[in-house]
Amino acid sequence: MSTGTAGTEEVRRLNDELERQVRELDAFAYSVSHDLRAPLRSLEGFSQILIEEHSGRLDAEGQRYLERIQANVERMAEMIDALLDLSRATRSQLRRERTDLTALAREVASELVASDPARGVRFEIAEGLVAPGDPHLIRLVLQNLLGNAFKFTARRVAAVIAVGVEDQDGVDVFVVSDNGAGFEMGHAERMFDPFQRLHATGEFEGTGVGLAIVRRIVTRHGGRITADGSPGEGAAIRFSLAPGPSGWTIR
């Protein structure tokens, strides 16, 4: 019967339509973020002039408010830049080639160590991690996941960050784990949404867009991503870069 074929065509059409709409939304987010930069720069400039040339006319409380304005302007600028990064991760053409995740993870790890040489962190990166995927985007995935692991182990004396692979129903599932601050499992889904953070900015810095970027890259590859953690004991992020059997989700 031909209904099977018609069904497949219909799914393909809907899929194309959905992709077109995502691209459109993304172009919109990109141009809005871009346009928000100009008024923000003006805010930054004028508050700087106020501080430099008129602060004598402000009492201590007024000066404190001005500093708070500046700190918030800076935070908003970081958020806008993060949104632009998120949009770039979706817009670039996806390439598929043999990607060496072991080599990429080692590079990223040494960059992190160089960024804060005083920290003693042990990296355990498995040999022979490879996947067909886009090397630039996969590097971005590892930068974000290892960056998080590095950040959330900052208070750990013997910090250990591991990168490995598990076979689940014939699918390679990559795992980035750490023994850092961890999180409440009840919030695990939320952490992949833009600007969602489970830790206070005062405790750990960040804009909350990294995992949203990671999830987009993983889904663009046809893969899936999950997070496991427990407060005070660490976190493990698992992701695949290719579709699994139908109905399959990462254990």
Q: Which residues bind Mg ion (CB under 5 A)?
A: 148, 210
For helices 135-152 and 210-220, what crossing angle results, to 10°? 150
Name the nearest CA neighbour of 85 among 24, 140, 10, 36: 140
The answer to whether 234 touches 177, Cβ cutoff 8 Å, is yes
Encoding tokens for residue 185? 């499992």
The answer to whether 16 touches 67, Cβ cutoff 8 Å, is no
Least distance to Mg ion, CB of residue 147, Å: 6
From the list 208, 215, 221, 240, which residue makes contact with ligand ADP (rule: CB under 6 A)?
A: 208
> Which of ligand ADP, Mg ion, none does residue 181 bind (CB under 5 to 8 Å by kind)?
ligand ADP
- Residue 162 is a binding residue for ligand ADP (CB under 6 A): no
The residue type of 104 is L
Least distance to Mg ion, CB of residue 214, Å: 9
Give the strand pairing for 171-178 and 159-168: antiparallel
Three-class SS state of 110: helix
The answer to whether 223 touches 239, Cβ cutoff 8 Å, is yes
Q: CB nearer to ligand ADP: give 129 or 213.
A: 213
- Residue 109 is a binding residue for ligand ADP (CB under 6 A): no
- Residue 164 is a binding residue for ligand ADP (CB under 6 A): no
> Which of ligand ADP, Mg ion, none does residue 90 bind (CB under 5 to 8 Å by kind)?
none
From the list 104, 131, 137, 211, which residue makes contact with ligand ADP (rule: CB under 6 A)?
A: 211
Nearest to Mg ion by Cβ — which residue? Answer: 210
- Residue 150 is a binding residue for ligand ADP (CB under 6 A): no
Give the strand pairing for 171-178 and 130-133: unpaired
The answer to whether 163 touches 105, Cβ cutoff 8 Å, is yes
- Residue 225 is a binding residue for ligand ADP (CB under 6 A): no
> Which of Mg ion, ligand ADP, none does residue 123 bind (CB under 5 to 8 Å by kind)?
none
Q: Which residues pair with 120 in a beta bridge?
A: none
From the list 81, 206, 220, 248, which residue makes contact with ligand ADP (rule: CB under 6 A)?
A: 206
Q: CB nearer to ligand ADP: give 47 or 196.
A: 196
